[in-house]
Amino acid sequence: MMQKNLIFGDDRAAAEKITRIKKEGKDKIHAVLDFDRTLTPSCNQKGEDVSTWKLLNKRLPAKAGATVAALYEKYRPLEISGKMTSADALAWWSSVLNLYTDRNLKWLDLAIEVEETIPIRPGAKNFFDICGRKNIPTVIISAGIKDVIELWCQKFEINPTRILSTNLHFDAEGYVCGWDRDSLIHNFNKREKGHNEIGALRQARPNTILVGDNIEDAAMAAGDENVLRVFIEDPRAGEPREDNFYGRIFEKFDIIIQGGTLLPLADIVDSIN
């Protein structure tokens, strides 16, 4: 079944989930969303690839930047192919984060970069505004950087209930001096499960709308019948699309959104009373 900007994998299963969520109402639902390339588009108006990691990496000196590029070349193919392990993810993210601690990144620079370079995906503001009006909690779970996400939320006046992402440490002069290892989020721990602060929320509001742009994002929330999984299609420039792309996505997700906008999802949430 197709509607404007929407593709449904299993029409009947998706319709049943939406009907169930609507029937049980807004007081039994919460939303879980990825950040990079989900709430933000993959490119800004200048055609630049934008993400929390890209923003930080552009501030690194040449030698550190080359190390980041080498790590990307090593681990990104594993990520795309589904061959990445939890140990690989931990090694990749930790190695990059360690490069940020040599007094080459400052809070003010990050704030300026967020203001100037990271846009919002069309419909994302509508989605959060509707959730706010209906008192539907929203949780952002990102393998990016929490400090950058918070700046972005301030810029666009978005108020998620909680953000789960890696925290940076800053010294007295505002330079990045480390990162909170207990807060590290990567593709293999990027989920609600295991975060005690979300346990009560999930128990009280078991129905979930999950939104992501990566097949691994489907694991951000546990469950099947009570989780509506929505994939936002926004391919990265220069990366070839694998064979049977849609078939692989529909193994994990109920709906694919095309056209680069979250407005169709905002409309679904707006219909829940």
Q: What confidence score (pLDDT) does residue 164 get?
A: 93
Give the per-residue pLDDT at 240. Answer: 64
Q: How do the domains of the chain map onto residue ranges?
A: 2-270
- The string of pLDDT tens digits covering residues 68-84 is 999 999 998 888 777 88
pLDDT of residue 126: 97
Q: H helices of 101-255, where?
A: 107-117, 124-133, 146-155, 196-204, 245-250
Query: Angle 128-131-133 (CA atoms, 0-180°, nearest 5)?
Result: 110
Which residues are CB-neighbours of 134 under 8 A, at least 6 positions away?
26, 269, 272
- CA dist 201 and 79 (Å) reads 30
pLDDT tens track for 185-235: 887 788 877 677 788 888 999 999 999 998 889 999 998 889 999 999 987
The whole-number pLDDT of residue 74 equals: 93
Percent share of the chain, pLDDT over 70 = 96
C-alpha pair distances (Å), 113 with each of 54, 56, 74, 75 = 10, 9, 27, 26
Write out the two tokens for 80.
């795309």
Q: Note whether 98 and 176 are within 8 A (CB).
A: no
Per-residue pLDDT of the chain (273 residues; tens, 9 = 90+): 445 788 888 889 999 999 999 999 999 999 999 999 999 998 877 777 788 888 888 888 888 889 999 999 999 888 877 788 888 988 998 898 888 887 678 889 889 989 988 999 999 999 999 999 999 999 999 988 999 999 999 999 999 999 999 999 999 999 988 889 888 888 778 887 767 778 888 899 999 999 999 888 999 999 888 999 999 998 766 666 777 888 889 999 999 999 889 999 999 999 999
- 2-270 homologous superfamily: HAD superfamily/HAD-like (3.40.50.1000)
Q: What is the pTM of this model?
A: 0.90
Q: What pLDDT does residue 2 have?
A: 43
pLDDT for res 1:
43
C-alpha closest to that of 139 among 159, 157, 123, 125: 159
Pairing assessment for the beta strands 176-179 and 168-170 based on DSSP bridges:
antiparallel
